[in-house]
Amino acid sequence: MNPASLDEAKRLMRNFQFPRPLSPERSSDGGRAISNFQKAQIVICPPFVYLSALADYRSTRIKNRSTLIKLGAQDVFYESEGSYTGEISPPMLRDIGVKYVIIGHSERRALGETNEIVAKKIGACLKYLLTPIVCIGESSRDESGNYFSFIRTQIEEIFKNIPRSALNKIVIAYEPIWAIGKKAIREATPAESEEMAIFIRKVLSNIYDQVNASQVILLYGGSVNIKNAREFLKSGGVDGLLVGRDSLDAKKFTEIVKTR
């Protein structure tokens, strides 16, 4: 539930835009950081109440850079219409320009969201051409490795009815719950992220096949910050990052985006 106002949300989006870059000859890093930014796929997922206004703001005020930033929602309901007071449907999101939806975030699961509900939401998103960012992750790690079974169950229950042809339209975000927020036991390491990325693709390979499993985009999300972003991208076995707290600081988020 951040930021606290629409004005602040607009300010953050405005400040995520870089000034026109220096030429590589005049840039301290040879233009590498700006080049990384231009190649990045950036998805901003604000609260529902800001989405429509930010879609308009993005297209009118920052239109020269708007293609660099896609809008995503933090959740969605699995029905397209009906008597579901307070819920937001996939066609509603698509109608205002939303392209991505976070599904199954650990904080939603803490409120009772199950693997079955997550699977239904994925299906609803795919039907309306929205890209689901599916969160999976264990709440704790044990020496005997039972957390692998937990992750396997999550994936098998979520993807059992998802067709092979849809796999390359889905993003998976691994978020170790034990490494998130104020109650975090410690930060996860890039080695732990890589280990889980390999395991996730293995489980997907068992459900589908190795070729299709390799096409899934994997993100790491667990207390990502400007200090550890580069190592997770370099050695964590992932294609990108799901950024939480540091996405509310335009300068920090900008530095993370330029990291590669």
pLDDT tens sequence across 46-72: 999 999 999 998 777 665 555 578 999
107 CB neighbour count, 10 Å cutoff? 16
Instruction: Return the pLDDT at 4.
Output: 94
Q: Which of 8, 87, 116, 175 is catalytic?
A: 175
| 175 classed as catalytic | yes
Question: Distance between CA atoms of 161 and 167, rounded to whole angstroms?
Answer: 11
Q: Which of 105, 113, 138, 192 is catalytic?
A: 105
Q: 187 and 221 in contact (C-beta within 8 Å)?
A: no
Question: Distance between CA atoms of 233 and 220, rounded to whole angstroms?
Answer: 9
Q: Which helix (H) or strand (E) holds 218?
A: strand 217-220
20 is a domain residue: no
Confidence band of 33 (pLDDT split at 50, 70, 90): low
Number of domains in the chain: 1
SS3 readout for 177-234: HHHCCCCCCCCCCHHHHHHHHHHHHHHHHHHCCHHHHHCCEEEECCCCCCCCHHHHHH
Domain region containing 219: 6-10+31-258
252 is a domain residue: yes
Q: Which residue has the higher pLDDT, 255 or 173?
A: 173
Asked if the model's pLDDT at residue 112 lies above 70, the reply is yes
| 105 classed as catalytic | yes
Instruction: Return the pLDDT at 22.
Output: 43
160 is a domain residue: yes
Span of 61-65, 186-190, 211-215, 232-236 with lowest mean pLDDT:
61-65
24 is a domain residue: no
Confidence band of 145 (pLDDT split at 50, 70, 90): confident
Instruction: Return the pLDDT at 26.
Output: 46
Question: Distance between CA atoms of 133 and 114, rounded to whole angstroms?
Answer: 16
235 is a domain residue: yes
What is the model's pTM?
A: 0.91
Average pLDDT (194-207) is 97
234 is a domain residue: yes
46 is a domain residue: yes
15 is a domain residue: no
Token pair listed for 10: 């607009």
| CATH number, residue 36 | 3.20.20.70
